[in-house]
Amino acid sequence: IADTARKLVEMNGYSDTIEVIQAYIEEVDIPTRKIDIIISEWMGYFLFYEDLLPAVLTFRDRYLSPNGVIFPSRARLWSGLYSDTQWEESRIGYWKDVYGFDYSPIVPKLKKEQFSAPERQHLKPDGIISKHMLLADLNLYKTTHNDIEEIASTLSFTFLNNATIHGIAFWFDVDFEGPEVSVRLDTSPSSGYTSFEQIIWYLSTPFHAHTGDTVKGGFSIRRGSTSGDFDVSVHFDKPVGLSLHTYDQGSHNLYQDLYERIEFEHSVYDSLPQLEIKAKGVAYFIYFLGGCLSMGLGFLLGTGCICSRPDR
């Protein structure tokens, strides 16, 4: 990526203006000592997964000038309770009749394997049946390493409708606050398709609630024993006693049901008006190619011309 960036700079006549430095962000040495703008795409699944934010904070403390700006400048982690009876039938009820055979003894093993930790998925906007709750609000100009060592919050969800609760959902948004214009990247279920998706922690035993009821409990996420991984805990005290814990989870072992993902992504393109079959095929290819490119360009655009991996 760094080599390509240098070629782009040179071909477009900016060699005297732009310098590409290829180094770890934690180890880079900036000759001018102070910089005016930091742009970093450090966000991962569950906002914190991959644990790239500490490196950005270290770089900020060393180099950002007093009047400098950082993008994104604010990050918020949100949560809400989730209901999806169609999901329950497709993931659980399916095993009761598999082409006429009863496979229901598989269900306990399925729940133990798939519901023991959060997973990433595209969630339905109307599946959030409680008021949203803010779990963390980070000002990236002021946030310290100690602030993100552990994010802990009480939980208090008020139900908007009568519903069966199948899980607790998480998502984030980040703000790019400029002197004249501000832009928000929203990854909530109502925001449409994003590569970040949402996080859902399904319950092995769903419970029922009525309009106006309140569920109380607690949430925490902290660094795990393995670099880049996290320990996550959720507990509900009222009206049900329920504790959820997972350890050393990160993007490398975050489960996703690929059938559900493909089904969702196909629906995005199928909903586009007046697309013929060939055009849809091109759209699928462009989506795939864009996904591949974004994994590389994130290092280029996300670190302000400083690659976080010297091998790139």
* Catalytic positions, written as ranges: 41, 50
Question: What gap in Å lies between CA 220 and CA 233, rounded to an integer?
Answer: 5
Distance from C-alpha of 168 to C-alpha of 100, rounded to nearest angstrom: 33
Name every residue whose Cβ is closer than 8 Å to that of residue 43 and which is 6 or more positions away in sequence.
52, 72, 75, 172, 174, 196
Q: Are 168 and 79 in contact (CB under 8 A)?
A: yes
Alpha helix (H) ranges present in 69-150?
85-91, 106-114
Residue 139: strand pairing partners: 74
Could you give the CA distance from residue 32 to residue 21 in angstroms, rounded to a whole number? Answer: 13
Return phi, psi of residue 98, to 5°: -100, 95
Listed in order, strand segments (DSSP E) in the chain are 21-22, 35-39, 64-71, 74-82, 119-121, 133-139, 150-158, 163-177, 182-186, 198-209, 214-223, 230-238, 242-249, 306-307
Q: State how far the Cα of 209 lies from the Cα of 250, in Å rounded to an integer.
A: 31
